[in-house]
Structures are given as structure tokens and as C-alpha cells.
Structure 1
Amino acid sequence: MKVDLVKQTPTYRAARGRFDVVTVPPLRYLMVDGHGDPNSSDAYRDTLTSIYPLAYTLKFLSKRDLGRDYGVPPLEGLWWSDDMAAFTDRRDKSRWDWTLLSLVPDWITAEHVETARAAVARKGGAPVLDAIRLEPFDEGLAVQTLHVGPYDAEAPVLDAMHHEFIPAHGLRMTGKHHEIYLSDARRTAPERLRTILRQPVAPVETP
């Protein structure tokens, strides 16, 4: 039976027009870091052409060698900037830092990743393959919502999340802005893109 990692994890569901406080369980991802405008930087393009082949090679390795099949989940990204206004207000993408993520099941080991990496390397065409790592990520408490529409239309939603909902509920932002791309931007009209927007938080400490 093919495992659906997204359906098994409740925090991969979010509602449009509503902010929810959730607790994200510890998960494991393929990760790779980069910097710059995702629309134009070589680093972002090279990351996409490396992380996808590794993710799918791992999936087929798991099905063939372990007898455990699963669907490759949607791409995710952590985004930040030294000046967060460059992200939420001015949208100065040239100043963005990011980490792209691909969720893997808990039975995938570092040895499996290295076997898959070697297979991808033999085929070529994955320029940052060696930079991809397998790493646990314990995000914990977070606020999230579903955004429907172009990525550049996220700013008002993020502004309401950051400056209205989070402080009104006795919370403060802690980690990096997290996006989960439920739609394939190559095949989906911008106005129909579905993206989970997530912000890690913690309770405000009272004196």
C-alpha cells in the first residue's frame, strides 16, 4: 500500500481565511540552503534540479528495496532575511535566504540517502546534489493558514498573521517563515495556487 505522508500529518491541512494554532510534530526532510531571488537565481534553479531527482530516487529505492512505497510530498521552503521587511513589505527577493525541504518517511536512513545520491550522481544534471542533507526538523508550535493566489499576494496575509493574530493571542514569532507548496506552479494558474503559510511561535513570557 502506498503511504501518503501528507494525509498522515494533520498539520499539512490548513483553512483559507482563518489562522490556526497548531503543533507540528518532529519530521525529517531532505534540505538544501540558498540565497537570492527564487525567480532568477541560479542557486534556486540548481536546487530544484537536484532535490527532486534525489527525492524521487529515494521513493523508488524504498519501494524496490524495502517494499514500502510512498508519494513524494509537495516541496516546502523556509524563508528569511536579515531585514524581514525585505520579505513581508518590500518583497526584495534578492535579499532572501531560504532552505528548500522535501519530507521523507521515518524509515529512510542516511545510508538510503547516500545510495540514492550515488544513483543520481551517475546520471548527472544535479549540480548541488552534494549539498543536500537529511535532517530532523522539530518546528513545534506554529500559526498557519491556507493562501490561495499568487505568491506575491501573500504580503497582506502575512501582515495580518504577524501583526494582528499572533500578538492578539499572546504569542511571539520565533522561527523562520515556512511555506508548503500544495500546487505545482509550473502547471497551475497563479490565481489558483494553494500554499500553506506557517509561522513558528511561542507564548509571550509574562513578568
Structure 2
Amino acid sequence: MDKVDYKKAFKELYQPEATPKIIDVPAMRFIQVDGHGDPNEPGGEYQEAVEILYALSYTIKMLFKKEQAPAGYVDYVVLPLEGLWQVENNEEFDGTQKEKLYWTSMIRQPDFVDEAVFKIAVQLTRRKKPHLTLEKARLVTFTEGLCVQCMHIGSFDEEPVTLEKMKHFTENNNFVFDLSEERQHHEIYLSDPRKGSSSNMKTVLRYPVRALCSEN
């Protein structure tokens, strides 16, 4: 059985162009971990969240190499790390005040991953990595809906330039940004910041929008 690479199978979600586009994002299943504060803090809350997500995701992937696979199982490439970001009062995203950030770090899971599979993965991961606070993790179905999306190429600190381009595109096409507690700034990390130059990093940027009502 060939492995499914979701980044290639769903290019509209993971390989957008460097020009903004409106997209209706479908429901998907994720393991998520919430947190607050600077994601760059060594040994901090965000670093543990990322370790939890990858530990559970790879445990699930390897689980059915030995165990009987559930209905709907496919072999697959583990998906990239993603993040939902917001600041207090649902203001426009500002990554320069990192200590004030609230975030949800997450990795998408194939549809066959249900609560039973997730529970097994937590049990197995706890045996291998008892230092991780696995109680922070949850399995959710997340529907993002209408968004504007664009590929950002460069460092994270240069994102405001791409976000401004997305905002102009949104306004020129009769939409507005639509941030709320439920709808947040979204990033998908296609590059490992530890490898290569930051100028070549690829990050999918996604912002919730809503259509403006047409005047009669």
C-alpha cells in the first residue's frame, strides 16, 4: 500500500501560491495542545506541546505496523506542525509581543484516528515518555470555514508583510478579516527552522474572513 502524503493530495490546503486566495477549509481531525507565552522560550510550554504532538502522532503512525488496523486505515506521511495564534481581546495578530500570545499547537490526523486510537496512543506514549504532560492533548474535529490563505516565504518576523498583502486582497474582494475566540490566525509550518536559511522557509498563512453584505 502506497503512503498517502496529505500535502500532495490536498495541495489547495498545503501548497498555496504566494498570492492570496479565498478558500473554504473543510472539517479535519487534529491532536491539539493549548498554551500561552513565548514559543521561543527554551524548555518552555510551547516546546513541550510540540514534543507531545509529535510523540503521539508517530506513536499512532507506528501502532498499526504491529496491531490490526482499524476500518479506514491508510499508511501515511505524518503531517506538518500547525498553530492557531491570538492575542488578548482578539486583536489583529501581532507576533512581536511573543510573551502575550495565546496558541493552540496541533497536528492533523487521518480520519481513521478516533478516540479509541487516540487513547491507545496516549497510553503507549506515557510508557515511553513519562515526563510529558499528555493530559494537555486532545483529539478534536476542527472546521475552519472561509479563510484567506497565502504562502509566506521567509522568516516568521517577516510575516506582517504577507499578512498586509492578504488584508488588502481580502478588502478588495468584498471580504473582511473575522477574528474571534473560535476563529484565529493560522500557520502551517512546511519548513524546519533548524535546517537551512530562514529566508527560504515556507509557512502557510491562513486568516478567517467573512463576506461583506452587498448593498441593495
- TM-score (norm: length of structure 1): 0.91
Which residue does 1:28 correspond to in 2? Answer: 29
- Tell me how far 1:5 sits from its aligned partner: 1.9
- Tell me how far 1:97 sits from its aligned partner: 0.6
More helix by share: 1
- Tell me how far 1:85 sits from its aligned partner: 6.0
Q: Distance in 2 between matches of 1:32 and 1:129?
A: 9
**Is this contact kept in 1: 2:147–2:206, CA < 8 A?**
yes
Match of 2:47 among 37, 45, 48: 45
**Is this contact kept in 2: 1:62–1:68, CA < 8 A?**
no
Which residue does 1:170 correspond to in 2? Answer: 174
Q: Distance in 2 between matches of 1:34 and 1:105?
A: 24
Which residue does 1:106 correspond to in 2? Answer: 111
1:158 and 2:163 are equivalent in the alignment: yes
- Tell me how far 1:84 sits from its aligned partner: 5.9
Which residue does 1:121 correspond to in 2? Answer: 126
1:79 and 2:81 are equivalent in the alignment: no
Q: Distance in 2 between matches of 1:83 and 1:188?
A: 36
- Residues 155/103 of structure 1: CA separation in 2 closer, same or farther (3 Å cut): same
- Residues 125/149 of structure 1: CA separation in 2 closer, same or farther (3 Å cut): farther
**Is this contact kept in 1: 2:20–2:165, CA < 8 A?**
no
**Is this contact kept in 2: 1:86–1:95, CA < 8 A?**
no
- Residues 22/93 of structure 1: CA separation in 2 closer, same or farther (3 Å cut): same
User: Match of 2:118, SS?
Assistant: helix
- Unaligned 5+ runs, structure 2: none
